[in-house]
Amino acid sequence: MREMLSLIQDDIGHSTALVSYTDDLAGAEELKAQLLENPAISQVLIMPLGPVIAAHVGPNSLIGFVIGKRKSQIIFFKSVDFLFEKNLIQ
């Protein structure tokens, strides 16, 4: 998890992060708490992975997402737009 945090925190371009998980809500909550220790992050959403992705990554997976500083670093661009549209992130 330490390596994941390092990768995420090296490229924060927006104050909202997303943690996705399969069968490990406690791990997702722990990752959220660690991300919120970074002053550049003010909000962390937690969402379970959908069944198709979960089947590929397997049980007890944690994934951290941030909007990066460079546009090429944005992951799941349509999902991010959805979050903005629904006012889940500002």
- Are 29 and 1 in contact by the 8 Å Cβ rule? The answer is no
Q: Which residue has the higher pLDDT, 48 or 78?
A: 48
Give the mean model confidence (pLDDT) for residues 69-78. Answer: 48
What percent of the chain shows pLDDT beyond 90? Answer: 24
Instruction: Look up residue 84 and give its amino acid.
Output: F
The answer for residues whose C-beta is within 8 angstroms of residue 58's C-beta and 6 or more apart is 22
Q: At which residue do the structure tokens 């959908």 appear?
A: 50
DSSP assignment, residue 33?
H
Cβ neighbourhood burial of 43 (10 Å; 0-12, 13-18, 19+):
middle
The reported pTM is 0.69
Give the mean model confidence (pLDDT) for residues 41-67. Answer: 88
Q: Are strands 61-66 and 16-22 parallel, antiparallel or unpaired?
A: antiparallel
